[in-house]
Amino acid sequence: MAGKKPAFNIQILNHSTVEQTGVEERAIRFTKRSIKGASKMQGLHMVLSMIDLTTLEGKDTPGKVNQLCIKARHLHDHIPGLPSVAAICVYPSMVSVAKKALQGSTIKVASVATAFPSGQSSLRIKLADTRFAVEEGADEVDMVISRGKFHAGEYAYVFDEIAAVKEACGKARLKVILETGELGTLDQVKKASTIAIAAGADFIKTSTGKIQPAATMPVTLVMLETIRDHFYKTGKKVGMKPAGGISKSKLALHYLVMVKETLGDAWLDKQLFRFGASSLANDVLMQVAKETLGHYQSPNYFSID
Amino acid sequence: MAKKKKWDYSPAPESKQPAAISRRYELFINGKWQQPTSGSYFSSINPATEEKLSEIAAANEADVNKAVQSARLAYEKYWKKITPAERGKYIFRIARIMQERARELAVTETMDGGKPIRESRDFDIPTAANHFFYYAGWADKLDFAFPNKKASALGVAGQITPWNFPLLMAAWKIAPALATGNTVVLKPAETTSLTTLKLAEIIQEADLPPGVVNIITGAGQTGALLTKHMDINKIAFTGSTEVGKIIQRTLAGSQKKLTLELGGKGANIIFEDAPIDQAVEGVINGIFFNQGHVCCAGSRLYVQESIAKIFIKKLKDRIGTLLVGDPLDKNTDIGAINSAQQLKTIQSYIKIGKAEGASFYESDCALPKKGYFCRPSLFTNVAQSNRIAQEEIFGPVLCILTFRTDDEVIEKANNSPYGLSAGVWTDKGSRIFNISKRIRAGVIWANSYNLFDPTSPFGGYKESGFGREGGLQGLQPYVQLS
């Protein structure tokens, strides 16, 4: 969205409440879908194509990031026809390394920013952090909201900050991390989602991966429902990224079922849905190999960059 | 990149093999399988395929007499004499064997009645087993259930169950009767006798004394004979209000105790401050659970006018994601209508609703070519004066009405000959208590719908019947207090 920054309007928070037990029940229903045969294979391919392969550690080096980028391009060349992951997700200082390593591929570089993971810094620093990531070549920026301000009831501050970061992103797409593990209730998750979407988020994202609990199905469902409300009202599609804790194929397929039955088939696309994960890819690859060859292979056959 | 193929779920059918349905079932009387005196059998078919599953003995008057006699004998000879703890032991045993044979029971229930395997597997069978577990615990604690009183058994209980939850309803009836020391003659609905007959096998396996539980099969005629029998102390019936009235007339002047659990037209009320997305889910579950063949279904939806538009839009979108088809497929949400006759009833109500001027909406999903299927559907622009808002359709058809104030919706919800169930959705605790106090219904769910537990009593007001099943209250209809 180019041009004017949106202004906070308190009325956006006049949304309906959330009933936790109802959300949990609905989330369990998605896990009862049986995904077998052709639909399993198609689902697994889809999961791979939606992964933001992530490394966010203090000990990250150009060497580590480089290896991860090679993994992103060559997930498992023993099986032809596999998609590549959607993006590599790194700290701002590693963006240029990743950008170079991924040259010539369709894989995006996503960078966390805004004093990730706590977000406890000034707006000036956060904007500078964002601009640095974008200048280094980030295609996508994963920002964190100010949870402290949110809990203090300063919703306008949270909103304006997101809008400002969005502006600083320029052409880069903005994912807004709510850090739902720190928000306390599903009602708060809905409120934070609504603020982030109204302030211009291209994606809303559950977690940094540094706080437990990270992504859960109930939390993701509430966020998907908020995206749906926005779509009903405006016709605009906002993306969703659960991150942290999704390391098994079966769980990833349950998430896809949830997306399909909540938002529809249009959202089953890496433009609108991502998994933030580091070890999910190999579990999916093992399942794909099993479906292809008819038996499980040892984990030793799957690279661990 | 090529345009992606739409992601649909591949068929995931449960195997039919665990059902192990016999080609023919006899009557279970006095602990033995006995041929019917009539020598006649009727067919039980799979409503999803219209294929014959088995043939089942039709009990006539001589058979009913035999069954009641053996129940009486068993009461005098064994059941009255053993200790309450011993009774509990047998009931626990039934519950455990049901769990062991859960898969067989679930597949059979789905093949015989048309309900989705997900429901029979996750709801019907486990809840039925839980009922036996729950009442087994009461068997030796009746003094605590009725403090300062002595609870004694009535004698022989005649029980008649409906076709919508065959095994679960058998459990609701048999478990409290046995726990309180009564013996039983039970007749299941003729379209869905199979799991009750398997329950007879389980009772045999649990080694209950002969005659304590007798299962006789047949059509309405067999049930009528049972209710008329002079040596029965108690009748428990779950089914239509029409038949319930006939039974009550039959029993007038007799000493028999009676429990009736009849029809309903549940009001599900959505206030503007409700958790909308969960309420939509609750409405879906309230009306489409078990194809709408639920006496407490939330078939009358009252939505506050200020949110009616968005609520109905969300409902329609959600209906679009329901999967209708093969009940044995693990992904099926809505299975087959129980019988050709019931399908006809539902279709006639849809016709009536259209003729009454209500707006009809149904899912655009494809239906299987064979079998009895009905798309999930709803009517908007419905008024209290419409027949579809007054009468029980017993199918996947929702009627939507709107309201403005609390008083108005209470009055409208109570404006029905039925009074079995209701739902209220609001963020305001005080409103929940106000509404639930003033609505005449046996069960009222707050911010939820169609939740069941053996510890919770269930039953109706007005033409929905009387007496309670489940919980402590469910013991009362089977005891004499002194």
Residues B409 and B468 in one domain: no
**Which pLDDT score, from 0 to 100, does residue A1 have?**
46
Which amino acid, one-letter code, is at B286? G
Q: Starting at the edge strand that comes first in sequence, how are the strands of the sheet with A140-144 ordered?
A: A239-241, A203-205, A173-177, A140-144, A108-112, A87-90, A51-54, A275-277
pTM (two decimals): 0.96
**Which pLDDT score, from 0 to 100, does residue A305 have?**
81
| Mean pLDDT along residues A132-161 | 98
Contact criterion met (CB below 8 Å) for B166 and B189: yes
Residue of chain A nearest B117, judged by CA positions: A32
Distance from CA of A77 to the nearest CA of B (A): 19
Q: Is the link from the previous residue into A218 a cis peptide, with omega within 30 of 0?
A: no
Residues B32 and B173 in one domain: yes
Regions of chain B where pLDDT drops below 70: 1-4
**Is residue B272 one of the residues assigned to a domain?**
yes
A81-116 burial: b if 16+ Cβ within 10 Å, else e: ebbbbbbbbbbbebbbbbbebbeeeebbbbbbbbbb
**Would the CB atoms of B4 and A269 count as touching at under 8 Å?**
yes
* Chain B residue numbers touching A105 (CB-CB < 8 A): none
Q: Assign residue B209 a region (left: φ > 0; alpha: ψ between -120 and 50; beta: otherwise).
A: beta
Residue of chain A nearest B307, judged by CA positions: A16
How many domains does chain B fold into? 2
Q: Which residues pair with A112 in a beta bridge?
A: A142
| Mean pLDDT along residues A173-195 | 98
Mean pLDDT for chain B?
97
Please tell me the distance from the alpha carbon of residue B403 to that of residue B348, in angstroms, as a whole number: 27
Chain B positions contacting chain A at CB under 8 Å are 4-10, 12, 118, 122, 273-279, 281-282, 310, 313, 321, 330-331, 427, 447-448
**Which pLDDT score, from 0 to 100, does residue B3 have?**
61
Distance from CA of A121 to the nearest CA of B (A): 35
Question: Which of B122, B277, B307, B329 is best to mutate for the A interface (most A CBs within 10 A)?
Answer: B277
Please tell me the distance from the alpha carbon of residue A17 to that of residue B353, in angstroms, as a whole number: 34
**Is residue A74 one of the residues assigned to a domain?**
yes
Residue of chain B nearest A221, judged by CA positions: B277
**Is residue B8 one of the residues assigned to a domain?**
no
Q: Is the pLDDT of residue A2 over 60?
A: no
Please tell me the distance from the alpha carbon of residue A3 to that of residue B292, in angstroms, as a whole number: 52
pLDDT tens readout for residues A188-221:
999 999 999 999 999 999 999 999 999 999 999 9
**Is residue A285 one of the residues assigned to a domain?**
yes
> What sign for the dihedral angle of Cα B125, B128, B132, B133?
positive
Residues B89 and B219 in one domain: yes
**Which pLDDT score, from 0 to 100, does residue B1 have?**
44
Give the CB-side neighbour count of residue A75, counting CA atoms within 13 A: 29
Cross-chain CB nearest to A36 (options B10, B274, B276) = B10
Please tell me the distance from the alpha carbon of residue B103 to that of residue B109, in angstroms, as a whole number: 10
Rounded to 10°, the helix A280-293/A37-49 angle is 150
Residues B188 and B320 in one domain: no
Q: Which of A71, A190, A191, A241 is catalytic?
A: A241
Question: Which of B5, B6, B7, B425 is best to mutate for the A interface (most A CBs within 10 A)?
Answer: B7
Please tell me the distance from the alpha carbon of residue A43 to that of residue A250, in angstroms, as a whole number: 10
The verdict on whether B399 is a catalytic residue reads no
**Is residue A206 one of the residues assigned to a domain?**
yes
Residues B298 and B356 in one domain: yes
Write the CA distances from B122 to B117, B125, B128, B471, integer angstroms.
Answer: 8, 7, 11, 21
**Is residue B407 one of the residues assigned to a domain?**
yes
Residues B296 and B233 in one domain: no
Contact criterion met (CB below 8 Å) for B61 and B223: no
Residue B396, number of CB atoms within 10 A of its CB: 28
Tally A–B CB contacts below 8 A: 68
Contact criterion met (CB below 8 Å) for A288 and A65: no
Please tell me the distance from the alpha carbon of residue A303 to that of residue A305, in angstroms, as a whole number: 6
**Is residue A6 one of the residues assigned to a domain?**
no
Residues B158 and B278 in one domain: no
Locate A42 and state its tokens: 């198609």
Rounded to 10°, the helix A155-169/A123-136 angle is 30
**Is residue A10 one of the residues assigned to a domain?**
no
Residues B236 and B339 in one domain: no
Contact criterion met (CB below 8 Å) for B401 and B383: yes
Contact criterion met (CB below 8 Å) for B327 and B336: yes
**Is residue B459 one of the residues assigned to a domain?**
no
* Chain A residue numbers touching B281 (CB-CB < 8 A): 22, 25-26
Q: Which of B14, B26, B295, B392 is catalytic?
A: B295
CATH number at residue B446: 3.40.309.10
* Chain A residue numbers touching B447 (CB-CB < 8 A): 19, 21-22
Residues B117 and B104 in one domain: yes
**Would the CB atoms of B281 and A26 count as touching at under 8 Å?**
yes
Residue of chain B nearest A30, judged by CA positions: B331
Residues B219 and B279 in one domain: no
**Would the CB atoms of B7 and A17 count as touching at under 8 Å?**
no
Please tell me the distance from the alpha carbon of residue A253 to that of residue A240, in angstroms, as a whole number: 15
**Would the CB atoms of A17 and B310 count as touching at under 8 Å?**
no
Nearest CA among B58, B29, B19, B28 for reference residue B42 = B58
**Is residue B120 one of the residues assigned to a domain?**
yes
**Is residue A9 one of the residues assigned to a domain?**
no
Q: Is the pLDDT of residue A231 over 90?
A: yes
Residue of chain B nearest A28, judged by CA positions: B122
Structural domain of residue B100, as residue ranges? 17-262+464-481
**Is residue B9 one of the residues assigned to a domain?**
no
Locate A19 and state its tokens: 């009933």
Residues B72 and B136 in one domain: yes
Residues B449 and B328 in one domain: yes
The verdict on whether B295 is a catalytic residue reads yes
**Which pLDDT score, from 0 to 100, does residue B164 have?**
98
Write the CA distances from B301 to B271, B284, B449, integer angstroms.
Answer: 11, 11, 12
Instruction: Please report the ipTM that was assigned to this predicted complex.
Output: 0.94
**Would the CB atoms of B276 and A16 count as touching at under 8 Å?**
yes
Contact criterion met (CB below 8 Å) for B441 and B419: yes
How many domains does chain A fold into? 1
Locate B121 and state its tokens: 């597997």
Residue of chain A nearest B119, judged by CA positions: A32
Please tell me the distance from the alpha carbon of residue A70 to that of residue A77, in angstroms, as a whole number: 11
Residues 216-235 of chain A whose Cβ lies under 8 A from any Cβ of chain B: 225, 232
Contacts of A219 (CB under 8 A, 6+ apart): A180, A186, A189, A206, A213, A242
CATH number at residue B65: 3.40.605.10
* Chain B residue numbers touching A269 (CB-CB < 8 A): 4
Distance from CA of B363 to the nearest CA of A (A): 15
CB of A178 within 8 Å of any CB in chain B?
A: no
**Is residue B388 one of the residues assigned to a domain?**
yes
**Is residue A154 one of the residues assigned to a domain?**
yes
Report strand pairing: B213-215 vs B183-187.
parallel
Structural domain of residue A96, as residue ranges? 22-301
Give the CB-side neighbour count of residue A176, counting CA atoms within 13 A: 31
CATH number at residue A76: 3.20.20.70
